[in-house]
């Protein structure tokens, strides 16, 4: 019996393997990998199956920054609050007059460094200021006290600027003076739209001293969620003796700044004439009012 079992094992080891079955014809025979076959990938796939599809979302372009450096009257936007206007008058003051005015005001005005607040923390503004007017002026939670002791030269300049702007001698009742001591002094993005300035105020800015760049940017609509990337930007170089007028909806629809410059800059005095009004009762000083402009 044991001999029969031994012969059976020997015969089994000599048994021939079954012949291989031929592969079925068709697309599945092109790949031995079932995962590849399940995706329907075929080495003879036509290019049409991989045709490039253009993206549905339109690519937005950042508008180029514009430059205004020639004398003139500019309507820089027509909405949403109305027409925003700039008037640029280089050489408003002759150079020799501007020179001695700059020296006199630099030495004789009561310059001081104002403390302001950002996100609840106090900081010293990167410039010097002084204020003239029968009413105090509050912005960014900090107040400049009323000061009726106008320097005689400032009274003369106020009359000349009011006449150039097309108004009477009483057009401007207040003046904010800024002294940028060098290129590191600056003022950040803001609008002069406090309630005490009234609706669509006229702001007249007179430059004495070294050149600085005055930058503007259009305020974004609500759907932009405060993103200024795709909004219009304008650059206005302001030189010694230049007068710039901001009128119409400028403070409603635009912001402006004087940025830091990281190369040699001498001191610059900026005189910003404006009119201040008593704020409505119950309104917190320095905050902004909302106005609705009806277009006709």
Q: Looking at the domain assignment, is residue 33 inside a domain?
A: no
Q: Looking at the domain assignment, is residue 30 inside a domain?
A: no
Q: Looking at the domain assignment, is residue 91 inside a domain?
A: yes
15-29, 50-64, 172-186 — which one is most confidently predicted on average? 172-186
CATH number for the domain spanning 166: value is 2.60.120.590
Gyration radius from the chain CA atoms: 37
Burial of 99 (0-12, 13-18, 19+ CB in 10 A): middle
Q: Looking at the domain assignment, is residue 282 inside a domain?
A: no
pLDDT digit string, tens, across residues 53-100: 666 667 889 999 999 999 999 999 999 999 999 999 999 999 999 999
- Where do the DSSP E strands lie in 134-232? 137-139, 142-144, 174-180, 187-190, 203-209, 212-218
Q: Looking at the domain assignment, is residue 58 inside a domain?
A: no
Total domains, the chain: 1
d(C-alpha 54, C-alpha 67), whole Å: 35
| Phi, psi dihedral angles at 42 (to 5 degrees) | -135, 135
pTM: 0.76
DSSP of 224-254: GTT--TTS-EEEEEE-TT-EEEEEETHHHHE
Q: What is the mean pLDDT of the chain?
A: 84
The range of the structural domain enclosing residue 208 comes to: 66-274
Chain mean position to CA 11: 92
Q: Looking at the domain assignment, is residue 295 inside a domain?
A: no
Q: Looking at the domain assignment, is residue 265 inside a domain?
A: yes
Q: Looking at the domain assignment, is residue 6 inside a domain?
A: no
- Residue 78: name the closest of 232, 205, 226 by CA: 232
pLDDT digit string, tens, across residues 179-234: 999 999 999 999 999 999 999 999 999 999 999 999 999 999 999 999 999 999 99
């Amino acid at each position: 019996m044991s001999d029969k079992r031994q012969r059976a094992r020997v015969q089994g080891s000599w048994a021939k393997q079954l012949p291989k079955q031929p592969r079925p014809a068709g697309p599945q025979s092109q790949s031995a990998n079932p995962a590849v076959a399940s995706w329907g990938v075929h080495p003879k796939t036509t290019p049409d199956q991989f045709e490039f599809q253009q993206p549905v979302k339109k690519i937005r372009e950042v508008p180029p920054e514009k430059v205004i450096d020639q004398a003139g009257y500019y309507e820089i936007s027509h909405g949403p609050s109305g027409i925003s206007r700039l008037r640029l008058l280089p050489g408003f003051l002759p150079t020799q007059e501007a020179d001695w005015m700059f020296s006199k005001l630099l030495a004789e005005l009561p310059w001081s460094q104002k403390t302001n607040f950002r996100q609840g923390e106090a900081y010293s503004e990167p410039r010097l200021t002084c204020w003239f007017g029968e009413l105090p002026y509050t912005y960014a939670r900090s107040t400049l006290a009323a000061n009726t002791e106008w320097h005689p030269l400032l009274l003369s300049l106020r009359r000349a600027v009011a006449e150039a702007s097309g108004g009477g001698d009483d057009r401007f009742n207040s003046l904010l003076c800024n002294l940028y001591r060098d290129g590191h002094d600056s003022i950040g993005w803001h609008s002069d739209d406090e309630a005490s300035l009234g609706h669509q105020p006229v702001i007249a800015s007179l430059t004495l001293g070294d050149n600085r760049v005055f930058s503007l940017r259009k305020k974004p609509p609500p759907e932009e969620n405060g993103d200024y990337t795709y909004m219009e930007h304008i650059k206005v170089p302001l030189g010694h003796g230049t007068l710039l007028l901001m009128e119409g909806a400028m403070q409603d629809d635009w912001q402006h700044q004087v940025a830091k410059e990281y190369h040699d800059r001498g001191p610059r005095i900026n005189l910003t004439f404006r009119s201040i009004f008593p704020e409505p009762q119950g309104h917190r000083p320095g905050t902004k009012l909302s106005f609705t402009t009806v277009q006709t």
